[in-house]
Structure 1
Amino acid sequence: MEKDLRIEEVREQAEGYFRRGEFFCSEAVVHAINGFMGWPYPAEVTRMASAFPIGLGKSGCLCGAVSGGAMALGMVYGRRHGEPMDARMFPVSARLHDHVKSLYKSTCCRVMVKDFEFASPERKEHCVRITGEVAAWVAERILEEEEKR
C-alpha cells in the first residue's frame, strides 16, 4: 500500500508541475523523480531536460515525457566516466519505451497528439496524463530496485 501511495504521489507531482505550467513534460518527469529519490542531484539537473519538450525541441519526434523518463532512469542506472555500463540501463530504458508504446501506440509526440488541436486544453491534459504515467512508471522501477537491496 505504501508503495502505491508513493507512486501516485510522484504521478501527481509530475502532472501538477506540467498542468500548472511550472515545467514541460520532460522537465516535470526529471524534477519529480529527482525529488522522489531525495534530491541526489541538484535541482538544476532539471535544466538538462529543457530541450526535450514537444518531441525534442518542438520537432514533434520522441515524446518529451519519454525523454525525461529515460533521463530519470539514467539518474538510477547511469554511469560516471570510467565506469562500465550498468547492464540494467538498456533493458529498463527499452521497457519504458515499450510501456508507453503499448498505452499510446507510439512514442512519437506528433502521433500521440494527432487527435488534438495543439493549443487545446484537451491536448494539454492528454500530455499531462502521459507525463504522470511516465513518472509513475519510473518511480515504480526505482522502488522495485530498492526492494532488491
Structure 2
Amino acid sequence: MTLVSTKEFTKEELLDRVQSNAEELFRSGTFFCTEAVVQTLNELLGKPYDENIVKLASGFPIGMGKAGCLCGAVSGGQMALGMVYGRVSGEDMNEKMFEKAKSLHDYIKNEYKSTCCRIITKEWVGDDFKSAGRKNHCITITGKVARWIANEFIEDGQIQVKQ
C-alpha cells in the first residue's frame, strides 16, 4: 500500500484501502494475519520502522505459532498500536496504549465472542488452516483489525485525512 499522502483520501477511502491492503497481503500468501496487519499499518504510518519489523510478527499467526491461542490479527493490531503509543526504555507509559489495547481486545471479543483463534475458527476445527472457508474468515478478521487500528489513528489525530 503505497500512499503518497494520507491527506489525499477521505477517512472512508483510506480505511477501505487499509482494509483491502491487509486482506490482499494475506490472500496472496505474502503474509499471514499478524504480519499483514503490521506491514499495512507500518506503511500507513509512513514506515516509521524498517520494513523488517514484520519479522517480529512472524511467530504470532494462527494463534501464536499455530497454537490456536490469541488471534494473530489481534496480536498484529497490538503491535501496530505500539508503533504509535508504545514507549522506549525509561519513558512513562502512554496511558492511551492500555486504553487502545483493551479497546481492540473488546472489539474483537464483541464481534466474535472470543479473541482465541481456535474459538473464532471452531467451525473449521481439524482442517489445519487448509480450507478456503477458514482462510477467507481469517482474511476478513485481518482486514477488520487493520481498519479498526487505522480508524483509531485517524480519530486520535495520528493520521491526517482529506476533510
Aligned residue in 1 for 2:46: 38
Q: In 2 relative to 1, CA 109–32 (structure 1 residues): closer, same or farther, beyond 3 Å?
A: same
Q: Give yes or no for the alignment of 1:144 onto 2:152.
A: no
Aligned residue in 2 for 1:115: 123
Cα distance in 1 for residues equivalent to 2:159 and 2:132: 41
**Any idea what SS the aligned residue of 2:21 has?**
helix
Cα distance in 1 for residues equivalent to 2:97 and 2:145: 16
Aligned residue among 127, 141, 154 for 1:130: 141
| RMSD of aligned residue pairs (Cα, Å) | 1.5
Aligned residue in 2 for 1:25: 33
Whether the 8 Å contact between 2:73 and 2:142 is mirrored in structure 1 is: yes
How far off its partner does 1:145 sit? 1.4
Whether the 8 Å contact between 2:45 and 2:159 is mirrored in structure 1 is: no
Whether the 8 Å contact between 2:33 and 2:142 is mirrored in structure 1 is: yes
Cα distance in 2 for residues equivalent to 1:148 and 1:16: 22
Q: After superposition, what is the alpha-carbon deviation per residue over 1:43-93, rounded to whole angstroms, capped at 9, x for unaligned?
A: 000100001000001100000000000000000100011110001110110
In percent, how many aligned pairs have the same letter?
51
Counterpart of 1:7, as a letter, is L
Cα distance in 2 for residues equivalent to 1:148 and 1:73: 13
How far off its partner does 1:148 sit? 9.8
Cα distance in 2 for residues equivalent to 1:15 and 1:145: 24
| TM-score w.r.t. length of structure 2 | 0.88
Aligned residue in 1 for 2:97: 89
Cα distance in 1 for residues equivalent to 2:107 and 2:118: 18
Aligned residue among 83, 98, 101 for 2:106: 98
Q: What runs of 5+ residues in structure 2 fail to find an aligned partner?
A: 1-8
Cα distance in 1 for residues equivalent to 2:72 and 2:11: 26
Counterpart of 2:81, as a letter, is L
Structure 1 residue ranges, 4+ long, deviating more than 3 angstroms after superposition: none
Counterpart of 1:120, as a letter, is S
| TM-score w.r.t. length of structure 1 | 0.96
Cα distance in 1 for residues equivalent to 2:158 and 2:150: 12
